[in-house]
Structure 1
Amino acid sequence: MSGAPIDMREREALCDLLAELGPDAPTLCEGWDTADLAAHLVLREHFKRGTDEHMAAEKAKGLPALIDRLRGGAPLLPWRVPGLRTLMNGAEYFIHHEDVRRANGLGRRTDRPDLEALAWRMSGYLGRRAARRIRPYGLELRRPDGEPRRFGAAGGAVLQGEPTELLLYLSGRRDAAEVRLAGDADAVAALRKAHTDM
């Protein structure tokens, strides 16, 4: 699947991992096990609200059935539209794949340059949103190669790491993300307190 679109590749890898770990394995999503996460993905792709009742109904079908549904792919519109599919589902499946991987002791993947490119693009969106939440301070995202992206006032918080790690941090996976946070102490404190989940 190396030439497959990111969303399809991450979907298949996540499904394989869910099948391997079973329904009760932990995830980074607070209060959710692997069956909860699979139910969430099914509901999301079929535009059903993730109420407790809907989640319970999906989970009652069992993890194998949920995995089969996920392996069947997303509905055509809007999830498979070229150009949109990577942005809409690629980041979602990458993040949830990491939710399962890291909660079960699997480390960072370093062999996915296309994931790094997607994460850098998406971290711009989440970085802008995070900067709004820590005003009057600014936020700078910095990759290891030093390429920065700045939002808001200069001299604020600096979040440095690989793009995938920045994306995980900005999407609320702070403890699992391998990043370095530096800069103005008040700005850093504001970022640590800010709600930045997707």
Structure 2
Amino acid sequence: MRWMETERLALVATFRQADPDAPTLCEGWTVRTLLGHLVQREHNPWARMLDTTARPVPGQERRLGALVATARTAAGYEALVQQFAAGTGPLNPMTWLGDGGQLLEYVVHHEDVRRGTGNKDPRTLPAGQLDALWKNLPLMARFTYRRCPVGVSIASPGRGTTAVHRAPSGRRPAAVVLAGDPVEVALCVSGRQRAANIEVTGSPENTAAFHAWAAGK
């Protein structure tokens, strides 16, 4: 079993235990909305693309809203959970993405649900799953920090340090290091730094510049 499927099963259990109307780390989205997003992403990507193109206020996406409306009752919510739990078939392109395209999505959204009410307690995940997650983080981090005014590296105990963005001069070494468990680094890299158990180190000037830039994104 791929790690994405392990994480899907864990996320399904969390969806069933959570209050569907509870907030998540995704601005404007409840647990119910986030569940709908995952189903829409995997089974109706065109609707997701149209919603994104329209640039709606978060929580007011027209097509996603219509899907979420089907889950207003307990039975409807469970039906949507079951649809997500069933996964994607062999002809669905999302299946082809494997851990490289799905694991990070599932882990981050799992924490969106868990930490939406302020809980920052980390889960204990298998070392293999954390290694697979770490493998996929540099690409996302390079995209996230491509316009950061200071250089950035990511680090995790036992997994080393990886430079993901050079300082604008192109000559200086990375100015700040974002360190933590792979899940915490994933939250930071995906724009959820306030909910992450992360340590940012570097000179006072450079860390201040990083935090100011991150707060304004």
What TM-score do the two structures reach when normalised by structure 1?
A: 0.86
Match of 1:16 in 2: 13
Structure 1 residues 23 and 146: alpha-carbon distance in aligned structure 2, compared to 1, 3 A threshold: closer
Q: Give the Cα–Cα distance (whole angstroms) in 1 for the partners of residues 159 and 20 of structure 2.
A: 41
Alignment deviations for residues 95-114 of structure 1 (CA, whole Å, 9 cap, x no partner): 11111112243621223212
Match of 1:176 in 2: 195
Match of 1:79 in 2: 94
Q: Give the Cα–Cα distance (whole angstroms) in 1 for the partners of residues 128 and 216 of structure 2.
A: 24
Counterpart code for 1:149? T
Q: Give the Cα–Cα distance (whole angstroms) in 2 for the partners of residues 16 and 196 of structure 1.
A: 35
Counterpart code for 1:20? Q
CA deviation after TM superposition for structure 1 residue 171, in Å:
0.5
Q: Give the Cα–Cα distance (whole angstroms) in 2 for the partners of residues 34 and 146 of structure 1.
A: 32
**Gap runs ≥5 in structure 1:** none
Alignment deviations for residues 31-59 of structure 1 (CA, whole Å, 9 cap, x no partner): 11111001111111121333211111111
On the 8 A contact 1:130/1:191 being kept in 2, the answer is no
Structure 1 residues 167 and 57: alpha-carbon distance in aligned structure 2, compared to 1, 3 A threshold: same
Match of 2:133 in 1: 119
Q: Residue 185 of structure 1: which of 186, 204, 217 is its match?
A: 204
Q: Give the Cα–Cα distance (whole angstroms) in 1 for the partners of residues 174 and 120 of structure 2.
A: 35
On the 8 A contact 2:163/2:174 being kept in 1, the answer is no
Match of 1:56 in 2: 65
Match of 2:113 in 1: 100
**Gap runs ≥5 in structure 2:** 52-60, 72-76, 167-171
Superposed CA RMSD: 2.2
Larger deviation, residues 178-187 vs 55-64: 178-187
What TM-score do the two structures reach when normalised by structure 2?
A: 0.79
Higher-helix-fraction structure: 2
On the 8 A contact 1:134/1:187 being kept in 2, the answer is no
Q: Give the Cα–Cα distance (whole angstroms) in 1 for the partners of residues 128 and 205 of structure 2.
A: 34
Aligned length: 191
CA deviation after TM superposition for structure 1 residue 131, in Å:
3.7
- 1:122-137 mapped onto 2 (5 Å cutoff): 122-135=136-149, 137=150
On the 8 A contact 1:28/1:99 being kept in 2, the answer is yes
Misfit runs of 4+, over 6 Å: none
Counterpart code for 1:124? P
On the 8 A contact 1:126/1:196 being kept in 2, the answer is no
Q: Calculate percent identity across the aligned residue pairs.
A: 31
Counterpart code for 2:36? A
Structure 1 residues 9 and 159: alpha-carbon distance in aligned structure 2, compared to 1, 3 A threshold: same
